[in-house]
Structure 1
Amino acid sequence: MDIATFLHLLHEEIGLTKRSGKKHIIHFSSARDYYACKAELKRMKSKLRNLTKVRHLDIIHAFSCTLRPDSKLRGLTGAPIIEEDTKITVHHMVNNKIVTKRASTLDGSQTIPWGVDQVGAPQVWSKSTGQNIRIGVIDTGIDYNHPDLRHSISRGINLLNRSMLPFDDNGHGTHIAGTIAATGRLSGIVGVAPRAIIHPVKAFDHSGSAYVSDIIAGIDWCVHNDLDIINMSFGMKSYNRSLEQAVMNAYYRGKIIIASSGNDGKKKTIDYPARFPQVVSVGATTRLGRIAPFSNRGKQIDIYAPGERVYSSWLHGKYNELSGTSMATAHVSGVVALMLSIKPMSPLQIKNALRRCSVGLSKRESTRWQPGHLNARRAIRAARQS
């Protein structure tokens, strides 16, 4: 493939995209071709301004940009593979009754939400608080001004507008961050791992929707910045090769990816990316410790965690209750931070430890392994024994 010809044509095609244009991912056949094209693009974009609209996805050796469905690029001899970018959504119950209130007890002391208490996090804080464990939350952003999150936030990125901070305009990302690592001082809530560090990665818009290319760019940023855990409280029904490639590459670089299974109440299937074997897949339980009716379930689940009416931080310094496997995933990310603070572990070691140390959900005897409930004390013990 002639790189200069390809980039000139790409410049023209981007210029022609108007209402008929859709986001696409351009895959190169080899890393060598990708980096050669990337280097040439860097040289040419000062003259061909449309090339500034191309996003690099290093982790999968691909570009992302808007193209027409009948782009001439498809007809080039030896051209890269071009696939349409697809949408993906956050995992929380849209029909949930949201309660907005201040989180404080009558004497003004801290509040430990029921889910944080149920997984047993307070019982292990004398041993681990997740100190210095870095967690990328690929979501809708974060409320930087929330009093319970100020001491938990570090550098992040806004993939929708790189000139802006990843401010949350939806609430979902702020809610997830609170469950993982809130540090309410005199009043407010405490998360599962209150000394862990949240790196907000805004890939989702105000409606909780994102493109797969935004997720891949988020994973790429987390890997490039050497984060320990990637929380992915979102999902899609259909398989996507680009997303799988990004997940696999992050996994092989030692990143622990934790994702929600979905809220369709399905008994034998879960959403992507949770369905990928390199990911810790999470289902949701109720306050009574039973599988939540809305949670996807089955053998593909690795662990269950609290996901019903979970109380956490919200926009404008407030607090909300939300239900969903998103909320369950945040509890697991917090417990994994507690584990990593005790001892460095690989993604496979973490996954096996969580499965091994879970508390059984069923009282019936079974000779086959079944996913159980998250327990921080057992998880810490498994980390020490690994």
Structure 2
Amino acid sequence: MQPKNLASLALAVTLALASCSQGTLTASTPVAPAPGAFVVDPTHSYVAGQLVIGLQDGRGARDVAETIGAQVLAELPELQAAVLSLPAGLSVQKAVRALAGSGALRYAEPNYLMTTPERSGNTPQGGLDASASVTAQATGALNDPQLGKQWFLNNMNAPKAWATATGKGIRIGVADEDIDRNHPDLKANMAFPGFDSPNQTLITAATPYDGSGHHGTWVSGTAAAVGNNGIGGAGVAYEASIVPLTITHDPTGASNVDSARAFVWAVNGPDGIAPGAAGDTDTPAGHRGFVDILNYSFGGTAYSQLSKEAIDYVLSKGVVFVTSAGNTPTTGPASPAWTPGAISVAATTPRNTRTDFSNKGAHLSVAAPGKQVWVTAVRTDTSNASESNYEYVDGTSFSSPATAGAAALVLQASATKNADGSVKQITLTPAQVRHILEDTALKPTGAYSIETGNGIVQADKAVLRATQDAANTVEKGVNVALQFVARSDSKLGIPLVGVTLSGGKRPDQLLYAQSAAGDAIYPAGRVNFREIDAGDYQLYASGPRTVVAGGTPGILSSPLSLAPGAAKGYTLPLDVTFPTDSNEPNDTTATATPIAYGVAKDGVLKNGDQDVFAFTATAGDVAFLNTQTVTGSPDIGLQVLDATGKVLASNSAQRKNVTDAALDFKAPATGTYYVVVKDEMGGNPFNAYWLALTRLTGSESEPNGSGKINGEKFSDLDFTGANALNIGEAKDAAISPTGDVDVYTFTGKAGQNILADINAAESGKPDGVMSLYQAGNPVALSAVDDTNTQDPTVEYVLPADGVYYLTVGAYTSSTQSSAGSYRVSLAAR
């Protein structure tokens, strides 16, 4: 059941997402940021009323939006993606289905909510763990008075690493809540401009802290609090720069779109131009992105194609991506922690064991301290320049930036230097940084484990390895592009393929990606892996999802050897069984399949195909021809021809913004007529549909039964006065006033597979609900809300001879209801 109160859940005006420009952003007069609030769908973890789309090459977001009456809120051209604001009454799921036949998309998915991690500020009860301490000797010569509370620095051997590297010259992008940027133990390390993603504005030194949340300040201090300044403590990379990337002003979390946009901005910088591309003016000389490392400590459980492709973009430009494993704690899926190529970090205790809250699993890269971490905190008075708050925090949110800080030390140590010791050229790839951290980590069990991955980050050993000609001696990663096609037709990309690479650096390693997201077919069939380990893999692939595509999915298991530093592409055929069409050949009037009133026929519109059906009508008959997509994503067009082949009627959509077609045809004379069914997008062997033929017999007459409806459930039904609707008939009707329930009765036979369908006249009016009842049985045999967009279809094999009732209403709740005209038809398959 999908929620219908989208009108009340429309995106708050304060979000005000504009189309993302590729030009340079300018900083306006400093003001406190807008709240950037959004409304979360009450039964799902995504933003209400929004849809994220991935575009095929050369296709425009606005053209796609217009097909469903949506508006483009923002575009992410680097990711070939956009976010749409859906019209009231059109759910995310309905929009996905409606766009499936557009031919313009690679995927469509909700704008998922990436939640603020649950673990946060936590003052230890009964004092700090006795094993958590940092000696004055271990801290080197730093004069920060609270270093003794920062056990995590000693645990990672950061002080020993500082003799060689402090992070100076390296930029860490912190994609998080807003940061108390004027905190005296952060201010000197802040690098501007930063980026406020929800408001799409630059963050400058004069931009006020938004006053919402603490998480970004904790994270920033863990990675790079200023060291040796006589204040508080220090971060792991105490001289690295922090680029603030605000992804939310809402305590609920961050939208996936705001996160992805911040990722792209972190790479491209304020000029919006990719590093090294013509016109790029802001990538620091010798660096690969506007930032060198991107830390992200938010997450969710849903697989997101947008998130995957945004991280792929970061990695493809040579920027290191570090993320928290999550605080569930489970071994189950976590986004983006499972993204191949990312450094996914679990949290450990002072005793080098995984914390009780940290996620675990075979996807982990490394672990780092994440319990009782003493870090910078938002000041109680942010106007007080001398106040320097610190507090204890728990979470993988802090093991991640601790690791990002270690990565900064590695990048600085390995870089070529100018005469003054400053960074001249970054020399390591993201995979090389990950390998250094993994290979030098402390392994509590002596080997890889699902508890701590490759072990607990040891900054000193990592820095030492970085200085040993690491660019030429540490193994580089691999970039792999996979294209899945049908073995029977290499031009046909297979959608919704799940891919797992098993092996590589170790036998139990599993790397997962898929070719598209959502519940509709977008036949791109492309899967990418960025900066993954070289080695010998076993590739497992399966798709498409049968429930969406029909037929039988293809399954592939194949060895795959990947050499270090390779960038390779593979085209992989799958033995896919497509939906079958028992009516073929029926491509011409000479081979037309007979169809009669009251009959529904199944068909498949494969590449370049058309299906032709023949029916007999009496002069004056108003024949109603109605189609419905079963699997795949056809954009159906209908024509009625006479015996000479002349087109007498045609239709390409039963109403605006849908892809199924329906038409009325008044027979001018008694005789045989032909129905031609085409896919206006050219066809696809997954595109199965049914065509029903009924005779329009007039309109309903009120009173037409009665009842109540709440949500999609009927109650207090009274079948008295129900209109007769025989199999083979169609009637026009209306839900009016709001809350009206119509009842239709028919006589059926045992084993008869009936097909009752609603076609609303207007988008959202009404948002139909239909149920089937057997006389004498108060419990519905079948209840359907939406089959395709707003229209329900009941298909049911009748259990016995007798009288049956169809009830029709509009989805109704405390915040949404609808009324309008519709047509009901009844046929048998």
Amino acid at match of 2:209: F
Which residue does the alignment assign to 1:6? none
1:161 aligned to 2:161?
Answer: no
Aligned 1:1-386 pairs, distance under 5 A = 19-20=9-10, 22-30=49-57, 32-34=58-60, 54-68=73-87, 69=91, 70=94, 74=99, 77-80=102-105, 81-93=107-119, 96-97=122-123, 109-112=144-147, 113-155=150-192, 156-163=194-201, 165=207, 167=209, 169-184=212-227, 185-225=229-269, 226=289, 227-266=291-330, 268-269=331-332, 271-316=334-379, 317-343=388-414, 344-362=427-445, 371-385=454-468, 386=470
Amino acid at match of 1:26: I
Would you say how many aligned residue pairs link Structure 1 and Structure 2? 348
Report the CA distance shift for 1:330/1:75 in structure 2 as closer, same or farther (over 3 A). closer
Greater Cα shift, 57-66 or 170-179: 57-66
Amino acid at match of 2:310: A
CA distance in 1, matches of 2:353, 2:333: 18
User: TM-score normalized by structure 1?
Assistant: 0.82
- CA shift, 1:299, in A, is 2.1
- CA shift, 1:382, in A, is 1.9
Report the CA distance shift for 1:381/1:94 in structure 2 as closer, same or farther (over 3 A). closer
Amino acid at match of 2:345: V
Amino acid at match of 1:189: G
CA distance in 1, matches of 2:294, 2:144: 31
- CA shift, 1:302, in A, is 0.9
User: TM-score normalized by structure 2?
Assistant: 0.40
Which residue does the alignment assign to 1:12? none
Amino acid at match of 1:255: V
- For structure 1, the residue ranges without an aligned partner over 5 or more in a row are 1-15, 42-49, 100-107
Secondary structure of 1:281's aligned partner? strand
- CA shift, 1:66, in A, is 2.1
Amino acid at match of 1:202: T
Secondary structure of 2:428's aligned partner? coil
CA distance in 2, matches of 1:76, 1:191: 52
Which residue does the alignment assign to 1:9? none
List per-residue Cα deviations over 1:142-178 (Å, max 9, x = no partner).
1022000011111211112234648352010110100
CA contact (8 A) 1:142 1:166 kept: no
- CA shift, 1:76, in A, is 7.1
CA distance in 1, matches of 2:162, 2:447: 32
List per-residue Cα deviations over 1:209-258 (Å, max 9, x = no partner).
01111111011101112211010112111211111111112111111100
Report the CA distance shift for 1:77/1:288 in structure 2 as closer, same or farther (over 3 A). closer
CA contact (8 A) 2:169 2:412 kept: yes
- For structure 2, the residue ranges without an aligned partner over 5 or more in a row are 1-5, 11-47, 65-69, 126-142, 270-288, 380-387, 415-426, 471-829
Amino acid at match of 1:167: Y
- CA shift, 1:208, in A, is 5.0
Secondary structure of 1:311's aligned partner? strand
CA distance in 2, matches of 1:166, 1:204: 15
- CA shift, 1:17, in A, is 6.5
CA distance in 2, matches of 1:198, 1:166: 16
Report the CA distance shift for 1:304/1:203 in structure 2 as closer, same or farther (over 3 A). same
Which residue does the alignment assign to 1:103? none
Report the CA distance shift for 1:280/1:152 in structure 2 as closer, same or farther (over 3 A). same
**Aligned-pair RMSD on alpha carbons?**
2.9
Report the CA distance shift for 1:254/1:365 in structure 2 as closer, same or farther (over 3 A). closer
- CA shift, 1:363, in A, is 5.8
Secondary structure of 1:54's aligned partner? strand
- CA shift, 1:128, in A, is 0.5
- CA shift, 1:95, in A, is 8.1
Secondary structure of 1:320's aligned partner? strand
List per-residue Cα deviations over 1:75-109 (Å, max 9, x = no partner).
8743445422110113341584489xxxxxxxx84
CA contact (8 A) 1:303 1:354 kept: yes
CA distance in 1, matches of 2:309, 2:448: 38
Amino acid at match of 1:63: A
CA contact (8 A) 1:299 1:371 kept: no
List per-residue Cα deviations over 1:25-63 (Å, max 9, x = no partner).
122111x335xx68x99xxxxxxxx96x62221231111
CA distance in 2, matches of 1:176, 1:203: 14
CA distance in 2, matches of 1:162, 1:17: 25
Over alpha carbons, which structure has the higher Rg?
2
- CA shift, 1:204, in A, is 2.3
Secondary structure of 1:257's aligned partner? strand
Report the CA distance shift for 1:17/1:98 in structure 2 as closer, same or farther (over 3 A). farther
CA distance in 2, matches of 1:271, 1:152: 31
- CA shift, 1:383, in A, is 1.3
CA distance in 2, matches of 1:75, 1:270: 26
CA distance in 2, matches of 1:60, 1:365: 34
List per-residue Cα deviations over 1:264-310 (Å, max 9, x = no partner).
222x3452111111100100000111111111113211111000011
Greater Cα shift, 133-142 or 309-318: 309-318
CA distance in 2, matches of 1:364, 1:357: 12
Which residue does the alignment assign to 1:11? none
Which residue does the alignment assign to 1:8? none
Report the CA distance shift for 1:33/1:292 in structure 2 as closer, same or farther (over 3 A). same
Which residue does the alignment assign to 1:5? none
Q: Which has the higher contact order (CA 8 A, sep 6+)?
A: 1
CA contact (8 A) 1:86 1:211 kept: yes
